[in-house]
Structure 1
């Protein structure tokens, strides 16, 4: 092998290495991955939630705001917003039905494929619905508080986490004054 071939191969090798290093450096200059700059809450509108199970569903963003709306005396909605987007929506509603499936029927985009406790809880990887056992409205015989937990701006799917979230949340609702006293939300 002559000296010219050896030199051109080594110059070529150095050039290839230099280009590879440059590509790696440039690829690191892309837009930085968005981070979560807020703390994941331990309660939503006064009801405790499992922070660890909620966290994977929470999107990146800077500011978390929680707003409770009471559209009528028999229901309320808790919206969790990250920056300007709704991330989580939780509902409680008094109904005179014995079926969680009936409550779910009022939710337009629900696609539930799992159930727990004989249908008391219905859920999927991103939403869940439940029925309290010990909440009866004093003016609505046979009524119960039904609960809904829906992830609105997350691509994360975890049916097991949703099952745990709705069961824990619904059990916590049973410990509220509204449930124990059987009164309206407004």
Structure 2
């Protein structure tokens, strides 16, 4: 009898495990991403929603959120920057440095930046000596990813971020009007 009770408990415990009922996407904000690279950051649930705002020609760049059952899980934002505005950006220079310093990863976030000159995008610059407002062309593009759901093991979470950010940033760069 105890063996039958143990078998019943094992089968019941296996059935109560939460499952992913939605299909993993193959892109975020029209940026191709292998589904297995997003998988660690998207939990079990019924429905996946994407909300995005995309404008490569604007200094504000792009913003996208993947939500599962009304809970934001994976956030992506990117924007144009000048050399002067690159360093104060959150995520740049924080975490583990990859590939010469253009990529940084942590357990819940990653960032990337790369040279991408775009004279059509004008960014605010310090005022002239006589107080006149001026702008400069964009010189870099910055990508920031934040995950609210991630592997519990911190080392595995950071590895998953590394596997995600590099190909994702390269795919974003292909879509940009860099000169």
Q: TM-score band (shorter)?
A: 0.7 to 0.9
Indicate whether 1:40 and 2:24 are aligned.
yes
Structure 1 residue runs of 5 or longer lacking an equivalent are 1-17
Asked if the contact 1:101/1:122 (under 8 Å) is kept, the reply is: no
**Whole-Å Cα distance in 2 between the matches of residues 74 and 65 of structure 1?**
22
Of residues 61, 64, 68, the one that matches 2:45 is 61
Of residues 102, 110, 122, the one that matches 2:88 is 102
**Whole-Å Cα distance in 2 between the matches of residues 96 and 132 of structure 1?**
11
Secondary structure, counterpart of 1:125 in structure 2: coil
Q: In structure 2, do the counterparts of structure 1 residues 62 and 41 end up closer, same or farther at CA, with 3 Å as the change threshold?
A: same
Asked if the contact 1:137/1:144 (under 8 Å) is kept, the reply is: no
**Whole-Å Cα distance in 1 between the matches of residues 109 and 67 of structure 2?**
17
Q: In structure 2, do the counterparts of structure 1 residues 73 and 99 end up closer, same or farther at CA, with 3 Å as the change threshold?
A: closer
Of residues 117, 137, 147, the one that matches 1:151 is 147
**Whole-Å Cα distance in 2 between the matches of residues 174 and 153 of structure 1?**
26
Indicate whether 1:86 and 2:82 are aligned.
no
**Whole-Å Cα distance in 1 between the matches of residues 118 and 145 of structure 2?**
21
Partner residue of 1:121?
103
TM-score, with normalisation over the residues of structure 1? 0.72
Question: Which one has a larger percent helix, Structure 1 or Structure 2?
Answer: 1
Partner residue of 2:127?
none
Asked if the contact 2:97/2:105 (under 8 Å) is kept, the reply is: yes
Partner residue of 1:29?
12
Q: Once superposed, what is the RMSD of the aligned Cα atoms?
A: 2.8
Task: Tell me how far 1:137 sits from its aligned partner.
Answer: 4.5
Structure 2 residue runs of 5 or longer lacking an equivalent are 123-135
**Whole-Å Cα distance in 1 between the matches of residues 17 and 170 of structure 2?**
37
TM-score, with normalisation over the residues of structure 2? 0.74
Partner residue of 2:129?
none
Partner residue of 2:162?
163
Equivalent pairs counted in the alignment come to 159
**Whole-Å Cα distance in 1 between the matches of residues 110 and 117 of structure 2?**
19
Asked if the contact 1:57/1:154 (under 8 Å) is kept, the reply is: yes
Q: In structure 2, do the counterparts of structure 1 residues 124 and 62 end up closer, same or farther at CA, with 3 Å as the change threshold?
A: same
Q: Which portions of structure 1, spanning 4 or more consecutive aligned residues, are displaced by more than 6 angstroms?
A: none
Higher Rg of the two aligned structures: 1
**Whole-Å Cα distance in 1 between the matches of residues 43 and 95 of structure 2?**
24
